Structure 1
Amino acid sequence: MKHLSLPALRGIGLPGSAKTALAAAAAALTIAGCANYSGISSDKTIATPDSYSATQSVPGQGGQWPSLDWAKQFGDPQLPQLIDEALADNPSIAQAQSRIAKASSYIETSRSALSPKVNGSYSWTRELYSANALFPPPYGGTWFSENNVLASASWDLDLWGKNRARLNQAVSLEKAAEADMQQARVTLAASVARTYNQLALLYALRDVTQREISNRENVGRITNGRVTAGLDTNVERRTAEGNTATSQTNLSELDGQIESVRYQLAALLGKGPDRGLQIANPVINSNVTVALPDNVPADLVARRPDIVAARWQVESATHNIKEAKAEFFPDINLAAGFGFDAFGWGRFLTSSSRQVQAGPAIHLPIFDAGALRAQLKGRYADFEGDVANYNQTLINAMNDVATNISAIRSLDRQMGDAQRALAAASNAYELAVIRYKAGLSPQLQVLTADQNRLANEQTVTNLRLRRSDLQIALIKSLGGGFDATDSNLAIDGSGQPKGTQQTASQPAQSN
């Protein structure tokens, strides 16, 4: 981009005619010289929650939004402690905090552009002037020392709001980084809880397996008695021993899985693997039910940090557009300087050695071969991409809530059937053992009943802990206790970030 620059005017003042000519030249350049951005705009808008139908999928149930201490409702005192430990000392949170610090530095840099700048300089030069050049004797052929001290000040008037737009863009990026950190906290807390629930499931399955070993050992003792009485053969004895050994193999496999999950928990806590071995056995209450708040779709935009972060990205893009539009107009800077300049030291600080300079500098784009228009088009493309990302984030969030609600409903229906199946299979197994012990039925009938009972008990156990996992997932999909207003990430009274109802073209208009 080429600019026209009016050099700083030396001297204390200008004649009236010179000032008039300067003003006329600036006005003419402003009118005739500016590049044009007409025809470049966008009609993209961010979606509102009522744009997507969700009243049937996500019905209000009169519940409350999750609080930050949501883990306490699962009745295991160790779980909230583990979440607090993870949030206090985890590399992923530290990474998010570093991004906030970096965004904050951009704010300070952008804010400095709005204030006048004052600088001071001093130079001392020792020079031998040629006797055969510009300066005749006694200067030519002689060494001289020049002292120069100057205090200067400058101020960008920012008439078109370019620097203010850049500052607002930096503030929006910081807010987006803060929302991203909140999202990282919500994700980490939910990951700890769900992994902890997985540990609880493995321990519950381990208890089932241990009971199965006890049952099969009991069947083995009955078989040994029947072999002694001549009612069974070594085939039945070896079958009973093989079944017990199979259950013990399953127990060893579960112990290995438990150890692996403990290591996963340690990593989530930001600690070494030995920390996972210190975690006590979980005692999660799987009967917790999370009721949906009323008006979920509308309020979700202020409760999900990923939606808030996406909205601040849109806000940042609108300020980027404003900055790009301001580039089409002239920059006017005021500059002034005062100091002393003299050869030698004798007259260095005398009034006759004063130097004074003051005046405006106007930088105006005249011909840039379309560079400014291309830059503005790029900013609008970024804006439209951020709008699309926001809309997709909103869709994903609503689908996330609806999916978890649907899965919980389905699981509750399965649980009733599974519990009835377990009760019937357990009763059939007990009767089969009694008949086998009395010599009224063969061992195969006991083994079949045992397999059915074991499969049903495992199913009920899996469903019970799967329900806890879905409740945790639902809490996460509802924001995990995040509130944009409490986190100072909402601007207007509706609890939504600034400009939620604006269209794409409104925030991009220049001042």
Structure 2
Amino acid sequence: MQKVWSISGRSIAVSALALALTACQSMRGPEPVAQADIPTGYIGSTTGPSVAEQGYKDFFADPRLVQVIEMALANNRDLRTATLNIQRAQQAYQISENNQLPTIGASGSVLRQDTLSSNKPMTTYNVGLGVTAYELDFWGRVRSLKDNALDSYLATQSARDATQISLIGQVAQAWLSYSFANANLKLADQTLKAQLESYNLNKKRFDVGIDSEVPVRQAQISVETARNDVANYKTQVAQAQNLLNLLVGQPVPANLLASQPVKRITQTTALSAGLPSDLLNNRPDVRAAEYQLSAAGANIGAAKAKLYPTISLTGSAGYASTDLSDLFKSGAFVWSLGPSLDIPIFDWGTRRANVKISETDQKIALSDYEKTIQTAFREVNDALAVRENIGDRLAAQRRLVEATNTTYKLSTARFRAGIDNYLTVLDAQRTSYSAEQGLLLLEQANLNNQVEVYKTLGGGVKANTSDQVVKQPSSSDLKYNKTAK
């Protein structure tokens, strides 16, 4: 085997390789500017840092709930899948980074051939190392693909954080749902007992001829209605526990469940939303959309680079001999080094069409990014709108409960004194029961809303308030930082 290049050829190859490694530039264009038209403030928000800056261990007041949340973070299958997706994206990024380096492989062969000019077959032995089709990245195509993989990896990380925030909110609300389902069950039980007493009283009055059968049947209707409510709330308790077990990924111990109505979900009195700019930093779904936008820009760079010639380098070095015993002796060393060139001439517009597809994908990613920002602000403002009026609603409902309970007591006393009929008692009892149910629903909605405010602001990524969450720069951020330098 002959040396295929001269010393000057070797120098040119080495120079070309150095140029490719040091001077390759990405052909991605400027990053588009998002126009999400975000508001300058929030509805009824108090001043101060965003409540999302608190870790979930500091935000939630009940240690039982914190323990349930930690069980969910360890066992929930959706979160586990999101974590595995991170590992997959990390390996994909490692592959794209490795593609910037030459692939070196060992080879060995034995070739036996016979020619017409020779009566004796000839055997050739080869062994060596080789570089196969290493692309000299003059136009930044490989670099752009690496940037895309980096952004996809970071987007997957942010998606996992978004899954954690959603999971924490769902666990907290399911835990509250179990508590208030039990509270409604106890209220229905108390109502059933009161209705049974009324039924027995009306039956005795009917038996001795004081009243007609109508009050007895009216009381019986109330009894059966209350029994139906008891059965319904027993079902709700079981379903709430089943949901909580699903979210946690395993059965939740009974000592971690709240059988009594929860009065406080957080120790924080003022749920401040912070500045609108804080939301863009705290919401991982917004960061994920931003990384996807950057990845789309990197794809444009890779597509544009395909419009230009692709230069690949192939080389090998090793030993060759016609005699196996002479394979590693002096004079048997051989090497080869040569480039290959792929120049696009006629592809009927395929490569340019790929560029246009990449540019359209970037516009789609930009639209998705803007929509994600708008959705985030809408969710926060919806939660804060509930927060602004929930106090007044609770105060009014408590006064309503007090009034209906008083009316029920007075109606019962007047009925037993023979002043009013049982229909007045029945109506007062139904109104009182409905008001009590409404109060429980509002108290649950109030606590759920506090969880919702924390979740929509991006709270839940940190376990402790002192923990630091560092936003990793996207490939576009790194590009412009290098340009600035």
Q: Tell me, yes or no, whether TM beats 0.5.
A: yes
Q: Return the alpha-carbon distance in structure 1 between the equivalents of residues 95 and 183 of structure 2.
A: 56
Cα gap change, 1:227 to 1:9, in 2 (>3 Å): farther
CA distance in 2, matches of 1:199, 1:429: 29
Counterpart of 1:123 in structure 2 is 109
Q: 1:19: Cα distance to partner? A: 9.1
Q: Secondary structure at the match of 1:469?
A: helix
Q: In the alignment, is residue 322 of structure 1 matched against residue 310 of structure 2?
A: no
Partner of 2:70: 84
1:262 positional shift:
1.1
> Per-residue CA shift, 1:160-187, capped at 9, x if unaligned?
3222222222111111000001111111
2:257 aligned partner = 280
Residues 407 and 470 of structure 1 are in contact (CA less than 8 Å); yes or no, is this contact kept in structure 2? yes
Which residue in the other structure is 2:20 paired with? none
Say whether 1:104 aligns with 2:85: no
CA–CA separation in structure 2 for the residues paired with 1:501 and 1:441: 82
The residue aligned with 2:38 is 52
Q: Which amino acid aligns with 2:431?
A: N
Q: Tell me, yes or no, if the aligned pair for 1:263 and 1:277 is still in contact at 8 Å.
A: no
Cα deviations across residues 57-107 of structure 1 (Å, max 9, x unaligned)? 363432542356436655433211111111101211121122111111112
Equivalent positions of 1:211-226 (< 5 A) are: 211-224=190-203, 226=205
Given the alignment, which residue of 437, 443, 454 partners 1:464? Answer: 443
Gaps in structure 2 of 5+ consecutive residues: 16-26
Instruction: Encode CA deviations 1:96-140: one digit per residue, 9 max, x unaligned.
Output: 12211111111211111222332221112344x2xxxx432xx33
Contact 2:61–2:264, Cα closer than 8 Å, also in 1? no
| Structure 1 unaligned residues grouped into runs of 5+ | 1-7, 24-36, 492-496
Of residues 10, 13, 17, the one that matches 2:6 is: 13
Q: Of 116, 133, 139, which aligns to 1:135?
A: 116
In structure 2, the residue matched to 1:162 is: 141
CA separation of 1:291/1:324 partners in 2, compared to 1, >3 Å: closer, same or farther?
Answer: farther
Q: 2:470 aligns to what? A: 488
Q: Which residue of 2 aligns with 1:183?
A: 162
- Residue 323 of structure 1 deviates from its aligned partner by 2.0
Opposite residue 109 of structure 1, the aligned amino acid is I
Give SS of 1:432's match: helix
Distance 1:269 1:228, change over 3 A: same
Q: Which of 178, 181, 187 pairs up with 1:199?
A: 178
Q: CA deviation at 1:408?
A: 2.6
Q: Counterpart amino acid of 1:281?
A: A
| Compared CA separation, residues 397 and 501, structure 1 to 2 (3 A) | farther
Q: C-alpha deviations, 1:363-407, integer Å up to 9, x for none?
A: 433333322211111111111111110100000000000011112
Q: Give the direction of change, closer, same or farther, for the CA distance of 1:63–1:449 in structure 2 (3 Å limit).
A: farther
Cα deviation, residue 227, structure 1: 4.1
In structure 2, the residue matched to 1:250 is: 229
Q: 1:490 to 1:443 in 2, by over 3 A?
A: same
Query: Could you tell me whether the CA contact under 8 Å between 1:145 and 1:344 is conserved in 2?
Result: yes
Change (3 A) 1:63 1:444: farther
Q: With the length of structure 1 as denominator, give the TM-score of the two structures.
A: 0.81
Task: Tell me if structure 2 keeps the 8 A contact 1:126–1:144.
Answer: yes
- Deviation string 1:3-28 (CA, Å, 9 cap, x unpaired) is xxxxx994451579x999xx9xxxxx
Taking the aligned partners of 1:66 and 1:74, their CA distance within structure 2 comes to: 12
Q: Secondary structure at the match of 2:175?
A: helix
Contact 2:175–2:257 at 8 Å: present in 1 too?
no
2 CA distance for matches of 1:464 and 1:316?
A: 45
Where do 1:337-348 residues align within 5 Å? 337-348=316-327
Determine helix, strand or coil for the equivalent of 2:316. Answer: strand
Q: Deviations over 1:221-270 (max 9, x none)?
A: 44355446643234323432442232122111211121122111111112
Deviation at 1:153, TM superposition (A): 3.7
Deviation at 1:281, TM superposition (A): 3.3
Counterpart check, 1:146 vs 2:104: no
Identity %: 22
State TM-score, norm by structure 2. 0.85
- In structure 2, the CA distance between the partners of 1:348 and 1:19, relative to structure 1 (3 Å rule), is closer
Give the 3-state SS of the residue equivalent to 2:327 in structure 1. coil
1:62 aligns with 2:48: yes
1: CA distance between counterparts of 2:2 and 2:124?
A: 23
Question: Partners in 1 of 2:222 and 2:8 — Cα distance?
Answer: 110
Verify the 8 A CA contact 1:119 1:152 in the aligned structure 2: yes
Sort the Cα spacing of 1:267 and 1:457 in 2 relative to 1 into closer, same or farther, 3 A. Answer: same
Q: 1:231 to 1:200 in 2, by over 3 A?
A: same
Greater CA drift, 157-166 or 349-358 = 349-358
Counterpart secondary structure, 1:358: strand
1:94 has 2:80 as partner: yes
Tell me, yes or no, if structure 1 residue 449 matches structure 2 residue 428. Answer: yes
Alpha-carbon separation, structure 1, partners of 2:3 and 2:100: 25
Looking at structure 1, the residues matched to 232 and 301 of structure 2 have their Cα atoms a distance apart, in angstroms, of 62
Name the CA shift for 1:229/1:62 in 2 (closer, same or farther; >3 Å): farther
RMSD: 3.3
What CA distance in whole angstroms lies between the structure 2 residues aligned with 1:398 and 1:501? Answer: 28
In 2: Cα distance, 1:263 partner to 1:481 partner = 23
In structure 2, give the amino acid aligned to 1:93. Answer: L
Measure the CA separation in 2 of the matches of 1:123 and 1:281: 74
Whether 2:456 is the aligned partner of 1:477: answer yes
Query: How many residues matched?
Result: 462
1:28-77: CA deviations, max 9, x gaps? xxxxxxxxx9xx978842236xx322525363432542356436655433
CA distance in 2, matches of 1:201, 1:307: 33
Deviations 1:270-305 (A, max 9, x none): 23xx65878633442247566343543211011111
The corresponding residue for 1:424 is: 403
